Amino acid sequence: MAVEIYTKMTCGFCMRAKMLLDQKQVDYHEIKIDGDADKREEMIKRANGGYTVPQIFIHDHHVGGCDDLFALHAQGKLDNLLNNN
C-alpha cells in the first residue's frame, strides 16, 4: 500500500489526517499502536525518532505528522507525492 499511517484511537490529529486522505479517496494502511510497544518502536525507528502520532509514510517516504500532511496539501504537493511511484 502506498500510504501507511501510524495512529492511536483517541488521537484527534490522526482523525484529521485520515479524514483528508478519505476526502482525497486515498487508500491507506492504518497501523494502530495503542498498547502495542513493538509497533510503537517500529514507528519511532521508521520516523527517525518521531514519537507522536500520526506518523505518515507515502511510498516509504516519511511525510511527518498531520500538520505536515496538511502543509503538503496546501502547497499543492500532496497529489504529486501520492501519484509518484
pLDDT at residue 84, as a whole number: 84
Q: pLDDT confidence of 85, banded at 50, 70, 90?
A: low
Question: Could you give the number of structural domains in the chain?
Answer: 1
Alpha carbon separation from 39 to 5, 24, 43, 72, 81 (Å, rounded): 12, 27, 6, 26, 25
Q: At 31, which helix (H) or strand (E)? A: strand 29-32
Q: Which three cell numbers stand for residue 43?
A: 514507528
CATH code, domain with 29: 3.40.30.10
The mean pLDDT value for 57-82 works out to 96
Q: Please state, rounded to an integer, the average pLDDT across all residues of the chain.
A: 96
pTM, rounded to two decimals = 0.95
Q: For 61-77, what is the mean pLDDT?
A: 97
Domain of residue 34, residue span: 3-83
Find, among 79, 76, 51, the residue nearest to 65 by Cα. 51
Q: What is the pLDDT of residues 29-58, one digit of tens each?
A: 999 999 999 999 999 999 999 999 999 999
